[in-house]
Amino acid sequence: MLEYKEISIYFDINKKLIGVPCGKASQFGEDGVASLDIFFELTHSYTDDELEEFIGKVFDACYSKEYFKNEMTAIEKYTKKKGYATAVKGYQCMVIRFYQGEYTFVPMKIDRKYKGAFEGIKGISMKVSLYNKYIPVETGALAIAFRKTMEVIMEQE
């Protein structure tokens, strides 16, 4: 069985992180996936170890429950604001995907066409393989990729 997980990490100007895991979403078909209505937070100044532990905790929560249509989004719950576009105002976002032993960090930007929605920044993503010729990934590699992705997003401002 192929393992696929995806998390969204929202962050503000102070680099406070809000991590949101994905879960099964039956209404989108057999393989449907959507963000769950649960979140984790990590306040700045975090070490690389704390950052990697946070990323792991959010990934561990993937598929911990099923997504149901019309649920309040995690970011709406966190900000206590109704409507996704209102809730994400002032936040940036990155998506981290895990598939077949590889992490992909995707910087996102606000899609001006769809108020408040995020879209990937074209042509930019960073990959971190868990194994390189059967050698486990170096400690800190996920934190480095995360911080570089955050820099790319902030440069787009």
CA distances from 133 to 97, 104, 111 (A): 21, 18, 38
Which range marks the domain in which residue 64 is found? Answer: 4-155
Contact 72, 37 (CB under 8 A): yes
Q: Is the pLDDT of residue 135 over 50?
A: no
Q: What is the CATH number of the domain that holds 123?
A: 3.40.1590.10
Summarize pLDDT for 17-43 with one digit per residue, the tens. 999 999 888 777 777 788 888 999 999
More confident residue, 144 or 61: 61
Q: What is the pLDDT of residue 39?
A: 94
141 contacts: CB under 8 Å, gap ≥ 6? 128
Phi, psi of 96 (to 5 degrees): -120, 125
Most confident option among 48-52, 68-72, 87-91, 137-141: 48-52
Contact 151, 121 (CB under 8 A): no
Q: What percent of the chain has pLDDT over 70?
A: 79
More confident residue, 52 or 125: 52
Say whether 90 sits in a helix, a strand or coil: coil
Number of residues in the chain: 157
Per the structure, how many domains does the chain have? 1
Q: Is the pLDDT of residue 78 over 80?
A: yes
